[in-house]
Structure formats: C-alpha cells, structure tokens
Structure 1
Amino acid sequence: MTFAGPSLAPHGHTVQAALATAARELSNVSESPRIDAHILLAHALRCERTWLISHPEFKLSKAQSETFAGLLEERASGMPLAYITHTWGFFGREFEVTSDVLVPRPETERLVERAIAHLRSRDGPTTVLDVGTGSGIIACTIAAECPDALVDATDISEKALAVAARNARRLRVESRCAFHLGELAAPVEGKKFDCILANLPYVPAAQIPGRPHGLAFEPMVALDGGLDGLACYRSLLTDLDAYARAGCLILLEASAPAIDGLFQLSKRVFPSALVAVERDYAGLDRFVSIRSPGGKGGRRAE
C-alpha cells in the first residue's frame, strides 16, 4: 500500500480532508485508523492533536502533505505508531521509544499501579528493582510517582539502556534511577529490594514466526521466551529470593496463556510466600504477584 499518489501529496488539502483520506486508507491495517491518522498528522505538522480539531480548514503545504504521506506509508507497512513518532504515552507521561525497545503496553500500567500502592504503604525510603527495563517506563514512572523510591533497572541491551537513561532525564528522575547492563538481576547482586518487577520475554519460540504483523518490527530478544515462554522467568526466579526484603512484593507480567505456568513455577520457588494471579484492566489474567514473608526459603526453579 502506498500513499504517495495524488490523494495526499499535492498541497492544498485541508486538515479535515487529509484526516478523512488517511483514516480510510488505514482501516485495513489498524484497529483505530482515525486515531492513528490524528497522531500522524499532528506529528507531521508538529502540533497538538487538539489543534487539528480546532483547525479543520487549515490547508497543508506540499511539504507537509508529503511528510504526512510518508508517515502513513510507514504505518501501512505495519510499523507501530511509537516507532514512527518515537514517543508513546504511559501513565500520563510521554516517553521516548525507539525500535531498540518494545512498545509500551497499556496493560503494564496496572503492574506499575500495584507497585506504587505497595511502595506508598512502606515506611521510609524504598528500593525497587526493574528487571529487563527496556525503555525504562516502569522504572521511570515509579521514580516519578514515588519521590522516596530508589530504582535499579537492568537490561542486556546497551541501546535499550540508553533509551531508558534518556527517559529518566526526560522525567527528571535520573538521580534516583540507576541503569545496569547485564543478565536479569545479576548486575545488582548483593542488594535487597522492597519491590521487584519484571516484564520479560514470554512469547513461546514456536509462536514467533506467526506473531502479529506489528510485532515483526519489535526486537526479537525482547519477545522470545523460549520453548514454553517461561525460560527467562525460570532463570530469574531461581535466585530472586536473595534480592527480596521482608515483605517484598514481586510482580511478574506475562500473557494469559503463560500465566498458569508462571503461577505454578512461582509457587514452587516461593512455597512460603503468598502467590496470586492478578488481572489487567481488560479483565485478563496478566500478572503473578508474590508477597515475600521474609525473603527466605526460595527453591530452585525447575
């Protein structure tokens, strides 16, 4: 599909006409073509979406029309909006997103909400570990919402950590966020935390080739969860008890098909902890929560 033809490229199109044309063209590739069209046109014109609504008769220049057509062509290829605009909203804030990190999912906001509530219930300064931080949305949001929290975040990708560090500066929480390169929790060995979060790869390897079109643009290393989708979590849980303070809340995100396996795995590793499955805003099983009674007694994940 291309948008370089006469429908959009010539100058003189009004905002209203350009949006209508774009929404029609995107209807085959997006579940929200009108919203996509608004986001992309606002990006092309470097304005707020509200400005588009209040200026429907504004006429696009030739350069603006061509820029918009190029953005639409990228979206039509299946490229996620976040990779086109390089920004994405999460928990009421704008974050930088590049193709080196996963696009933030709205369901992860529930994970962060649970962590924030837990941290606010603790006395004094708190410590947080975000394993597999990616763009840093979890680490940075928690730091922004909990001024007494000190956050450590890890990732195996230097490029992802660079994005996370820029997001920390963007939110002005860089003084309370430390980013570490390395596998899982290993970079912070010896430290203990009040809250540990992980949104690790959980797509079974066999499902990767048939993944939805948009996921083809996302980094494979952030998706591949091994044979059963639990390989990364199995490695993480093996030693995670050593990082948990008394009363630590551990929150692990996965897809609905993988949740039961993750729940059973967590119960085996933390036999004395309170382990539960929690739902996201859509009512789907999305997280496993582990409330550590004392940070002792973990078993090896098998």
Structure 2
Amino acid sequence: MPNPSHPFTTVRDLLRYATSRFNKAGISFGHGTTNAYDEAAYLILHTLDLPLDTLEPFFDARLAEDEIAAVMQIIERRATDRVPAAYLTQEAWMHGFRFYVDERVIVPRSLIGELLQDRLTPWVDDPEQVGAVLELCTGSGCLAILAAAAFENADIDAVDISHPALEVAQRNVTDYQLDDRIALFEGDLYEPLPERRYDVILSNPPYVNQASMDALPPEYLHEPSIALAGGPNGMTIVQRIISGAKRWLTPEGVLVVEIGNEREHVEAAFGGLELSWLTTSAGDDAVFLIRAADLPD
C-alpha cells in the first residue's frame, strides 16, 4: 500500500516527482548532467543500487518503503541544500572511469579528459614515446589517471597544494592500482618537484575570475573555492604555470591548460604567445596548448 504521506510506489513515480522537484527548485547543472530528468534518473538508480545505464526495465518496479525513503532523502538534499549529485553519491564518471569524490575536491569535469582520449593527437607525435607527464592542480587525481591510460609508457607526477585533495587523489590512484606510476606531491605548483623534464604538462587550474566567483550558483559553493578562484581576472595561477613551464618541459614538450570561459582574459594576458586553441565538446575556447619552444624563458 502507498504511504499516506506520499503516493509513490514505483521508480516511474519517483522519477516524475524528482524531475518536477528539481525543475521547481531551479537547481543548476554542470557537474555531470545537463537537465533535471537525467539528474533524477542518475540519483534514483544509484540510490537503489541499480545499473546506471538501465532505467527502462525498472520503471514499474514496486519499491519497499525504506527504498522510497532513501530516494526521497536524496531528492530533497539535492533540491533544498543544492548539493551536487557527485557529492551525494561520492562518485563521478569521466569517459568510462569512475572516481571517488567528496567535498575536499571539485567534481571532475575537465575537458582535457576528452583530449586524453585521443592521446593529444596530433600535438603529441608518438604517444608511445611519452615518458613523463606532469599534472598541476590535480584535485581528485582524475586527469593523472586518464593520462596514465593515454600514455602507457609514462610515469605521472601530480601536484596539489591541498593536503585534503591529495587524500582523495591517493584513494583514486590506489583504486586503479597506479601507485607505481603516479606520484603525488603536495605543494605550490612546481615547488615540490624533483628536477626532471616532462613531455607533457597538463593543468585544469583555478581560473574563475572574481566577478564570476561572486555569481556562482549554490551548487558550486559546495566545492573548495581554492580550486576555483583564479584572482581578479582568473589568470593568477595560469600566469605562474606559464612562466615556469619551459624549465620543466623537454624541448619538444607541450603545455595544455584548461581555462573554461576565460579566453578573453587569456588573450589579454598572454596575447603575445603562440597559443593553439584545441577543439572540445565545449567549443574551441576552453583549452589552449603551447609548445615548449614558444614559452617564455
């Protein structure tokens, strides 16, 4: 019998309710889904321990009261507290890889992940010859892990200034049994690294300008601001990454940096450099590449 406090008995009932609830609440997306229906489906399937890509067979499955209560709790946390779904489920997915996440790190969503699927072709001539990769501002370690998959012969060094973030990264590195290939360093950009040269440097650094920080939706306020805020024009950390990169790259190496919606600020700050803008699902304005030869000394 339905609970008198609500009329729900099936997955279909909960999906309809959650979609309406999320739309009414005006929640913001950008942490894995783009609409209320997909967000609702993901949270319901995860909470019920059902396959995430198999909704239709369970539409009319009748649920136990404790299952309905668990889903309702998740729906309300998402709608009322505006907690990103990834923090509610403690997982995020990128290109078939599952990563543990919590509020010590931003939710993984880097466009560089797309480029690593293609092994940075054509900018890297021979991916098999890539022997060393550096990721700055690693957070959850997701790009370091994707880089290890893309460049099978490479050792990966990954740096973050946040000790709590590195605890999450270590969990993910261990989960993928990559402790022998990925070394984590705590410190400020290049500062904690031993002397060596890298074929590729990757970074999805803090790049959000102050005006945009002030206007962030509530979902983004659950993320550590240190991983988002890039100073007045968003370029404070990017400037330091660029200015130090040549010393750490091999002569044929490349630097790849994600900057979101900040292309105007990038070109204002670094317009004299030979920047190559890379094509991603977000367009041609979110990730740039610089060859070592074109970097400032």
State the shift of 1:88 in Å: 0.9
Confirm whether residue 87 of structure 1 aligns to residue 91 of structure 2.
Answer: yes
3-state DSSP of counterpart to 1:175: coil
For residues 144 and 120 of structure 1, what CA distance do their matches in structure 2 show? 17
Residue in structure 2 matched with residue 244 of structure 1 by the alignment: 249
3-state DSSP of counterpart to 1:163: helix
Give the residue type in structure 1 aligned to 2:181.
R
For residues 177 and 99 of structure 1, what CA distance do their matches in structure 2 show? 23
Confirm whether residue 45 of structure 1 aligns to residue 38 of structure 2.
Answer: no
Which of 138, 142, 164 pairs up with 2:143?
A: 138
Q: Deviations over 1:102-138 (max 9, x none)?
A: 1122533234346543557155351000000001110
Structure-to-structure mapping, 1:24-103, within 5 angstroms? 24-28=20-24, 29-30=26-27, 31-76=34-79, 77-103=81-107
Confirm whether residue 167 of structure 1 aligns to residue 172 of structure 2.
Answer: yes
Distance change >3 Å, CA 180–CA 133, structure 1 → 2: same
Residue in structure 1 matched with residue 15 of structure 2 by the alignment: 19
Give the residue type in structure 2 aligned to 1:238.
S
If the length of structure 2 is used for normalisation, what is the TM-score?
0.88
Residue in structure 1 matched with residue 5 of structure 2 by the alignment: 6
The size of the alignment, in residue pairs, is 286
3-state DSSP of counterpart to 2:214: coil
Structure-to-structure mapping, 1:198-213, within 5 angstroms? 198-213=203-218
For residues 4 and 289 of structure 2, what CA distance do their matches in structure 1 show? 52
Residue in structure 2 matched with residue 105 of structure 1 by the alignment: 109
State the shift of 1:282 in Å: 2.8
- Are the equivalent residues in 2 in contact too, given 1:42–1:52 (CA < 8 A)? yes
- Are the equivalent residues in 2 in contact too, given 1:193–1:243 (CA < 8 A)? yes
For residues 104 and 208 of structure 1, what CA distance do their matches in structure 2 show? 18
Give the residue type in structure 1 aligned to 2:75.
L
Give the residue type in structure 2 aligned to 1:138.
L
Give the residue type in structure 1 aligned to 2:22.
L
State the shift of 1:23 in Å: 1.4
Q: Deviations over 1:64-92 (max 9, x none)?
A: 11111111111103211111111111021
Which range is displaced more, 64-73 or 41-50? 41-50
Q: Deviations over 1:233-274 (max 9, x none)?
A: 112222221101011011011023x22432454465xx6xx4
Distance change >3 Å, CA 125–CA 59, structure 1 → 2: same
Q: Deviations over 1:186-219 (max 9, x none)?
A: 1114211000011111111233222122211111
- Are the equivalent residues in 2 in contact too, given 1:247–1:291 (CA < 8 A)? yes
If the length of structure 1 is used for normalisation, what is the TM-score?
0.86
Distance change >3 Å, CA 267–CA 190, structure 1 → 2: farther
- Are the equivalent residues in 2 in contact too, given 1:276–1:290 (CA < 8 A)? yes
Q: Deviations over 1:164-206 (max 9, x none)?
A: 1111122222210000000011111421100001111111123
State the shift of 1:284 in Å: 4.2
For residues 229 and 5 of structure 1, what CA distance do their matches in structure 2 show? 52
CA RMSD of aligned residues (A): 2.4
For residues 123 and 21 of structure 1, what CA distance do their matches in structure 2 show? 50
Distance change >3 Å, CA 119–CA 160, structure 1 → 2: farther
- Are the equivalent residues in 1 in contact too, given 2:119–2:150 (CA < 8 A)? no
For residues 170 and 95 of structure 2, what CA distance do their matches in structure 1 show? 18
- Are the equivalent residues in 1 in contact too, given 2:86–2:102 (CA < 8 A)? yes
- Are the equivalent residues in 2 in contact too, given 1:111–1:253 (CA < 8 A)? no
3-state DSSP of counterpart to 2:180: helix
3-state DSSP of counterpart to 1:211: coil
- Runs (5+) with no aligned partner, structure 2: 28-33
- Are the equivalent residues in 1 in contact too, given 2:111–2:287 (CA < 8 A)? no
For residues 102 and 162 of structure 2, what CA distance do their matches in structure 1 show? 13
Which of 120, 126, 129 pairs up with 1:124?
A: 129
- Are the equivalent residues in 2 in contact too, given 1:128–1:195 (CA < 8 A)? yes
Structure-to-structure mapping, 1:175-194, within 5 angstroms? 175-194=180-199
- Return structure 1 stretches of 4+ with deviation > 6 angstroms: none
Give the residue type in structure 1 aligned to 2:64.
S
Confirm whether residue 281 of structure 1 aligns to residue 281 of structure 2.
Answer: yes
- Are the equivalent residues in 2 in contact too, given 1:156–1:182 (CA < 8 A)? yes
Give the residue type in structure 2 aligned to 1:85.
T
